[in-house]
A and B are shown apart, each in its own frame.
Chain A
Amino acid sequence: MSAGLMIYNVLCLAVPFSVALLLAALGENFNQRAGVFNLGCDGIMCMGAFLGFMVPFSLKATPWAAYGNLLGIGAALAVGAAMGVVFALVTVTFRASQGIAGIGLQMLGWGLAGTLFRHFVGGVTGVEGMAAIAIPGLSKVPFLGGVLFNHNALTYTALLLVPACWFLLYKTPWGLKVRAVGTHPRAADTMGIHVDLIRYQALMLGGAMAGLAGAYLSLCQAKMFSDDLVAGRGFIAVALVYFGRWSPLGILGGALLFSIAQSFQLSMQVWGIKFPYEFAVMLPYVLVIVVLALARKARQLGPTDLGKPYNREMRF
């Protein structure tokens, strides 16, 4: 096999791998920009994956079957947003510690998805899932066509969301408020901005995107559901936000870097080269630590009030 073909194979696999991470991390970025880190991202992804699978699965033999995938995605978005609101209620309104609340949400989502799955479905069952749509013309371009333009609709959506999130964050009034609320909530408050409301909105959006990321895993990647489908990707997504220094483009870079490492590791197994899987899993965390250790100057760019509940009448 030529080196060019090897790179092509690795990249073709890496792009779909990156989608779930990208969607979840772009969503988590809104949470963190607003000053709340949601470790429950992983649990939301579990619930998103479950509903993304469950809805088309139960609509299989009904007249609604044609809309199964779409309704599944809708349900995943809705459950994600709802879990985001629950998390906001706990951390913003009741000012609970975000770390502990996040771990709780992760366990809730993971456990609930598994339990519901066993109750309603049981054994291993697949769904048809979403098919790839080759973009006419572009998919025929040598090399890039296969890498970028022969995927399902959610993959294109995720890639388009990168500039969309950037625009939302830096060019719209809402993005401005989100950034202010996560960096200096008291300043935002004195400018007449409802800090808690913005945090609720950001957590809702972030949750919906995590739900979508879960649906991608069950509908597009695995075309089935199991307890360990998400496999800690939610936590990797949280790490990618730090890695990407809270910028959508940086997050895309991180998601691709990690996915390339993962697909490289898989390809090596196909090629018969032994490579420890655990190493690839470890990689994003190592990268995050390296980036955080080296990038001290960039501190000014991040949400400096990350993790702190805001209390207007607090005196210090």
Chain B
Amino acid sequence: MTALEPISELKLEGITKRFPGVLACDGISLQVRRGEVLALVGENGAGKTTLMNIIMGLYRPDSGTIHVNGEEVHFHSPGDAYARGIGMVHQHFMLVPNMTVAENLALGLKELHHFMNLDIKGAAKRIREVSERYELPVNPDAYIWQLSVGEQQRVELVKTLCLGARLLILDEPTSALTPQETDDLIVRLQRMASELAIIFISHKLNEVKALSDRVSILRHGAVVFNGQTANHEPSELAALMTGHDVVLPRNEGSSIQGEPLLSVQNLCVRGDRGNLVLDGLSLELRAGEVLGMAGVSGNGQREFADALAGLRPVESGQILFGGKDLANRTPREIIHAGMGYVPEDRQTEGIVPSFSVKDNLILKDFAEPRFSKMAFLRKKEIDSNAEALKERFDIRCPSTSTATGSLSGGNIQKVILAREISRGPKALVAVYPTRGIDMGAQEFIHEQLLARRREGIGILLISEELEEVMNLSDRIAVIYKGKILKVLPAVEATRERLGILMAGLADPDTPGDAQAEVPAGVAHE
């Protein structure tokens, strides 16, 4: 690495980048200085990640200039950016899973590369120094695949700092973290901010509020707002981000509670490692209600959703749905019984990424007479179905023939929701339906779920966001270690009470008294 003066200022001017059919960045100008945290917010597809990849030299801008300390630079690869002290923590971690932490760092540290000799001890030493200095505990000898998501996040931070970055770009660093890990990260970043410059990309406005000094808002590839974070309320920022006022809809709780629709009794299911992850879970979902399932992820939510969708064998217990036991039935039987499913992993389970939007919209119904005739697909029907759903669900795509995987997360989720809802299910299981999705799409998805509830569909909402669960649910079930700890009416739920239950502690009768016992990081997201 060259011995240039440490970065004290980064300035972008008029950055423009086109992708086929998309203007990802439209004349963006930004500035960030040392000791400052700049939050960059915007909806999915607003161009944040593209812009950062331009700064890192991964993409070349079509026009515009980048200045470091007042001097114009042209980066051709991330190595060039690192040489000027700019480092990025990508949303999807850039760590090689079958190598150790030290090996991952050594990849980028050219001064450890000697002829026929790799100074892996030197890498480990660097990691220890940096992890002590910034209080980011990391074991240099651990293999990446052995680490939790939160630990990998720390490795990414340490790695970036070891590489000499003094301007950190963090691309949605909290999107894969649990609430506790998120709190922890925010605290660490606050400590680090005084010595560094940080560009913090997020669409979680409470995090932006907690961490940043200034905020810039991107919409459709252009900067629409610059300001001091302290002077603006989250709701104001949300409105600027989406272009209109965002008020997340709430469940007003006035519909008739229908008959029991789905009844799960003593369900036992094994996890990937063969241990019993669901251990006698019982639950009842009624028609016309939203039943929220709150819990820290990893307590059996994924396995429960898999079992309901027929994707994981049931060890014992029953899933009664419309008078039939659906335990251990095939996904096809479960789909035909009238169960809708919005899976946790939308990229791999919810859609076929390389298929077009219109094909993904008929994935469950392609064999129905409406879409196929004598073993041939009815193209016209499929097209008109797609156009209608695109309109109704506000799916933003260049055309319905676009590969679904190239859409933003929010739009992919709309495709999935459109498919599941338009099939007219009796019940809908939605797993983390708004994870990593911007405010605008979130608002839309919430409205859709509440509208289905009014139509009498029973909705099981599995989520980690307490806000979401509390806003939408009629009743809230708290899952802990594979069992339902308690089911309570939403009106009786408070953040504190849910937080205590999610931590597996006994339910306090009066939420006020219990506040003192709340373990750090549990009661708030």
B: contact size bracket: 35 or more
Mark contacts of B380-415 with chain A using CB atoms, 8 A cut-off: 1 yes-contact digit, 0 otherwise: 000000000000000000000001011000000000
Q: Which A residues are in CB contact (< 8 Å) with B118? A: 171-173, 175-176
Residue A60 interfacial (CB < 8 Å): no
Residues on the A chain within 8 Å of B63, using CB: none
Q: Closest A-chain residue to B49, C-beta based?
A: A315
Q: Which residues of A contact B93 (CB under 8 A)?
A: 187
Of B58, B143, B145, the contact of A189 (CB 8 Å cutoff)? B58
Residue of B nearest to A168 (CB): B116
- B480 lies within 8 A of chain A by Cβ: no
Interface size class of A (residues with CB under 8 A): 20 to 34
Chain B 64-86 against A: per-residue CB contact (8 Å), 1 yes, 0 no? Answer: 00000000000001111010000
Q: Name B165-186 residues within 8 Å CB distance of A.
A: none
Q: Binary interface profile of A, 169-195, with partner B (CB < 8 Å = 1, else 0)?
A: 001110111011001101111111110
A180-B96 in contact given A316-B353, A316-B406 (Cβ < 8 Å):
yes
Q: Does the CB pair A300–B96 fall under 8 Å? A: no
Interface of chain A: mostly helix, strand, loop or mixed: helix
**A301 touching B98, Cβ below 8 Å:** yes
Once the chains bind, are B103 and A176 in contact (CB under 8 Å)? yes
Q: How distant is A35 from chain B, measured CB to nearest CB, in Å?
A: 12
Residues of B close to A177: CB separation below 8 A: 107
Given contacts A176-B106, A177-B107, A179-B98, A190 and B113 within 8 Å (CB-CB): no
Residues of chain B in range 89-126 having any CB-CB distance to chain A below 8 Å = 90, 93-99, 103-104, 106-108, 110, 112-114, 116-118
Q: How many A-B residue pairs have CB under 8 A?
A: 90
**Residue pair B58, A315 in contact (C-beta under 8 Å):** no
Selected contact of A191 from candidates B59, B94, B116, CB within 8 Å: B94
Q: In this assembly, does A313 line the interface, its C-beta being within 8 Å of a C-beta of chain B?
A: yes
In whole Å, how far is B59's beta carbon from the nearest beta carbon of chain A?
6
Judged by a CB distance under 8 angstroms, whether B19 is at the interface is yes
Residue picked from B93, B98, B99, B112, most chain A C-beta under 10 Å: B98
State whether A179 touches B99 (Cβ < 8 A).
yes
Give B233 Cβ to nearest chain A Cβ, in Å: 34
Query: CB-nearest residue of chain A relative to B24?
Result: A315
Residues from chain A with Cβ under 8 Å of B117 in the complex? 171-173
Whole-angstrom distance from the CB of A243 to the nearest CB of chain B? 18
B107 touches A312 (CB 8 A): no
Query: What residue in chain B is nearest A179 (Cβ atoms)?
Result: B99
Query: Is A179 touching B96 in the complex (CB atoms < 8 A)?
Result: yes
Complex Cα spacing A168 to B117, Å: 9
Q: Which residues of A contact B97 (CB under 8 A)?
A: 183-184, 300, 304
Contact, CB under 8 Å: B78 / A192: yes
B294: CB under 8 A from chain A? no
Nearest-Cβ distance from residue B76 to partner chain A, whole angstroms: 10
B321-354 CB contact bits vs A (8 Å, 1 = yes)?
0000000000000000000000000010000010
Bound complex: CA A116 to CA B95 (Å): 48
Assembly CA distance A176 to B80 (angstroms): 20
A184 to B144, CA, bound (A): 12
A187 touches B96 (CB 8 A): yes
A173, A175, A193, A315 interface centre (most CB from chain B within 10 Å): A173
Chain B binding site: helix, strand, loop or mixed by DSSP? mixed
Complex: A316 Cα to B103 Cα, angstroms: 26
Verify A191–B405 contact, CB threshold 8 A.
no
In contact, A193 and B107 (Cβ under 8 angstroms): yes
CA–CA, A32 to B102, complex, Å? 23
Which residues of chain A come closer than 8 Å to B90, judged between CB atoms?
A: 190
Q: List residues of chain A with CB within 8 A of the CB of B106.
A: 173, 176
A315 touches B77 (CB 8 A): no
A212 to B145, CA, bound (A): 37
Q: How far is the CA of A187 from the CA of B106 in the complex (A)?
A: 13
B56 at the interface (CB under 8 A from A): yes
- With both beta carbons as reference points, the residue of chain B lying nearest to A303 in the complex is identified as B98
Q: Is the CB of A300 within 8 A of B77?
A: no
CB-based contact B107/A189 at 8 Å: no
Q: Which residue of A lies closest to B83 (CB)?
A: A192
- Name B57's closest neighbour in chain A (CB-CB): A192
Residues of B136-152 contacting chain A, CB below 8 A? 143, 145
Whether the pair A315, B406 counts as a contact (CB closer than 8 A) is: yes
B108 and A191 contacting across the interface, CB-CB below 8 Å: yes
A192: B residues at CB distance < 8 A: 77-80, 82, 108, 110
A172 & B107 in contact (Cβ 8 Å cutoff): no
Contact of B59 with A184 in the complex, beta carbons under 8 Å:
no
Question: In whole Å, how far is A183's beta carbon from the nearest beta carbon of chain B?
Answer: 5
Q: Does A190 contact B56, Cβ atoms closer than 8 Å?
A: yes
Question: How many Å lie between the Cα of A290 and that of B79 in the bound state?
Answer: 43
Interface centre among B59, B107, B113 (most CB of A within 10 A): B107
Contacts of B94 in A (CB 8 A): 184, 186-187, 190-191
The answer for the CA separation of A220 and B93 in the assembled complex, in Å, is: 49
Of the residues A167, A300, A312, A313, contact of B98 by C-beta under 8 Å: A300
Chain B residues closer than 8 Å to A183, beta-carbon distance: 96-99
Give the complex CA separation of A177 and B106 in angstroms.
9
Q: Are B19 and A190 in contact, with the CB atoms below 8 A?
A: no
In the complex, are the beta carbons of A313 and B99 less than 8 A apart?
A: no
Contact B99 A190 (CB under 8 A): no
A43–B473 alpha-carbon span in the complex (Å): 65
Closest residue of chain A to B81, judged by CB?
A192
Shortest CB-to-CB span from B405 to chain A, Å, is 4
Q: Does B217 contact A (CB under 8 A)?
A: no
Contact, CB under 8 Å: B95 / A313: no
Q: How far is the CB of B103 from chain A (nearest CB, A)?
A: 6
Question: Which A residues lie within 8 Å of B103 (CB)?
Answer: 176
- 1/0 per residue, CB under 8 A from B, across A290-304: the answer is 000000000011101
Interface membership of chain A positions 143-187, coded 1 if the CB is closer than 8 angstroms to chain B and 0 otherwise: 000000000000000000000000110011101110110011011
Can you sample 12 A-B contacts with CB below 8 Å?
Answer: A172-B118, A173-B118, A183-B97, A184-B95, A187-B94, A187-B95, A191-B94, A191-B107, A192-B79, A192-B80, A193-B107, A300-B145
3 nearest A-B residue pairs (beta carbon)? A192-B79, A173-B113, A191-B108
* Residues of chain B having any CB pair with chain A under 8 Å: 19, 56, 58-59, 77-80, 82, 88, 90, 93-99, 103-104, 106-108, 110, 112-114, 116-118, 143, 145, 163, 347, 353, 403, 405-406
Contacts beyond the supplied A173-B112, A300-B97: 15 A-B pairs with Cβ under 8 Å: A171-B116, A172-B118, A173-B106, A173-B113, A179-B98, A189-B58, A190-B90, A192-B80, A192-B110, A193-B107, A300-B143, A300-B145, A301-B98, A312-B59, A315-B406
